[in-house]
């Protein structure tokens, strides 16, 4: 008898909970709440946006404007530096709403979230490398996408960050008088980033290091190549002067 009574109480409680939830859904007007959140976002009230849309994400499930919910919630997370949460919301649009007018913006912002979550260049660059792949994927898959300029800008920022890390390591070995190791890092840098604005300077530095190691023939070869392919006038002038010493 007690078990039967307890079971009936549980069922009754469950029915009340479902009824309350259903009533809450009926009272929740998505056509009002979503525009309120957008208005709050435009006023940079990101905490308010999150408060509204974190609820709307549940209450408006199935609503045709859910891509808008995910976008402005994701962007509010992005603006408040909650990058992991931002990526999660924005990638919902990419995976679930491929025909949304917000698709390309969301795809770019998801990659941007990864880049912005990366650590300073002295530390591990896992997120930076991941963002580079994400930016490249956008450009390769959708070469004429409407956010192309923004994607290219952040892709270059990510590449610059990796370049800074590698060049800093090479310069560290110079300071430690480990010239052979520095040469290895500079060569690796040139191979990995042949279009970098720092390639000419790196080649000149390699030649200078060869001179310090009394390897004039190697220095002369590097300088000859630099003078044939280099683009930076100031570097080329230094290369010509050094070439005379290498002869």
DSSP label of 82: -
- H/E run at residue 24: helix 2-27
112 and 155 in contact (C-beta within 8 Å)?
no
Asked whether the whole model's pTM tops 0.85, one would answer: no
DSSP label of 142: -
Residue 29 confidence class, pLDDT cut points 50, 70, 90: very high
53-98: pLDDT as tens digits: 999 999 999 999 999 999 999 999 999 999 999 999 999 999 999 9
185 and 166 in contact (C-beta within 8 Å)?
yes
124 and 94 in contact (C-beta within 8 Å)?
no
Per-residue pLDDT at 2 exceeds 60:
no
49-59: pLDDT as tens digits: 999 999 999 99
Residue 107 confidence class, pLDDT cut points 50, 70, 90: very high
- Looking at residue 24, what is its pLDDT? 47
The packing angle between helices 66-79 and 46-59, to 10°, is 150
222-243: pLDDT as tens digits: 999 999 999 999 999 999 999 9
Print burial letters for 22-48: b (CB count within 10 Å at least 16), e (below 16): eeeeeeeebeebbeebbebbeeeebeb
In terms of C-beta distances under 8 Å and separation of at least 24 residues, what long-range contacts does 185-190 make, across chains too? 189/163
Residue 180 confidence class, pLDDT cut points 50, 70, 90: very high
Q: Helices marked H in 80-215 — which ranges? A: 83-96, 103-116, 126-141, 148-175, 179-192, 199-212
d(Cα 9, Cα 6) in Å, to the nearest integer?
Answer: 5
Per-residue pLDDT at 15 exceeds 90:
no
110-157: pLDDT as tens digits: 999 999 999 999 999 999 999 999 999 999 999 999 999 999 999 999
């Amino acid at each position: 008898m007690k078990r039967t009574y307890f079971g009936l109480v549980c069922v009754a409680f469950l029915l009340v909970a479902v009824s309350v939830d259903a009533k809450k859904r009926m009272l929740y007007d998505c056509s009002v709440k979503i525009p309120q959140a957008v208005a709050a976002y435009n006023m940079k009230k990101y905490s308010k946006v999150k408060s509204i849309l974190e609820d709307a994400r549940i209450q408006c499930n199935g609503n045709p404007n859910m891509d808008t919910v995910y976008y402005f919630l994701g962007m509010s997370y992005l603006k408040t530096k909650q990058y992991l949460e931002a990526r999660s919301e924005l990638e919902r649009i990419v995976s679930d709403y491929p025909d949304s007018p917000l698709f390309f913006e969301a795809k770019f912002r998801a990659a941007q979230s990864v880049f912005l979550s990366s650590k300073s260049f002295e530390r591990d660059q896992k997120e930076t490398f991941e963002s580079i792949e994400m930016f490249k994927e956008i450009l390769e898959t959708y070469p004429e996408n409407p956010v192309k300029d923004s994607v290219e800008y952040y892709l270059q920022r990510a590449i610059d960050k990796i370049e800074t890390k590698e060049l800093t390591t090479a310069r560290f070995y110079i300071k430690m008088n480990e010239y052979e190791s520095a040469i290895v890092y500079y060569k690796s840098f040139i191979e990995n980033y042949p279009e970098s604005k720092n390639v000419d300077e790196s080649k000149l530095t390699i030649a200078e290091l060869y001179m310090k190691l009394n390897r004039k023939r190697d220095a002369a070869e590097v300088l000859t190549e630099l003078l044939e392919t280099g683009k930076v006038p100031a570097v080329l002038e230094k290369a010509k002067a050094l070439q005379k010493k290498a002869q």
